[in-house]
Amino acid sequence: MLAKRILQASGKIVADSGTGAAVMNRAFKAHVGVYRTTHGRIGHRFPGMPPFLLLEHVGAKTRVLRTTPLGYVRDGGNIILVASNGGGPKNPGWFYNLRAHPGVRIWIGADERRVVAHVAAPGERERLWPKVLEVTDVFPDYQ
């Protein structure tokens, strides 16, 4: 439950912009720096949260290269990302970036790979959503 409250609060802070968003953006940058420096030994796992990866993506409008730490769930060899934005009413910016530029790089721990992102079709989403809920109780209200 604590992890769910933290995720909802951080998503709301980022979505609302202003000073809180600036602080959260610094925290995300610190997370990325520590994750990279330690090859994921620190920053990959937090108690009560799904594991984290680093997503390197290109801005849809700016074409600026960005790196975002995100919780993920495995589906065999595939990776599931949930564009929840902390339960906010809008998708997170990285979602639009992946739609515009689906070729991305991810790091899971020290493992780096290139992948092509896509939005799950309704039937695929129906199959994947229970897998997400098996891993974490953070997302049940977000579907």
Region 32-60 average pLDDT: 89
The pLDDT of residue 8 is above 60: no
The pLDDT of residue 119 is above 50: yes
What pTM value is reported for the model? 0.80
The pLDDT score that the predictor gives to residue 3 is 46
The pLDDT score that the predictor gives to residue 85 is 79
The pLDDT score that the predictor gives to residue 104 is 98
The pLDDT score that the predictor gives to residue 2 is 43
CB-based contact 35:43 (threshold 8 Å): yes
The pLDDT score that the predictor gives to residue 17 is 57
Which of residues 12 and 68 earns the better pLDDT score?
Answer: 68
Region 20-45 average pLDDT: 84
DSSP string, 52-73: EEEEEEE-TTT--EEEEEEE-E
The pLDDT score that the predictor gives to residue 89 is 78
User: Does the CA dihedral 5-6-9-12 come out positive or negative?
Assistant: negative
Residue 87 CA to residue 123 CA, distance in Å, equals 22
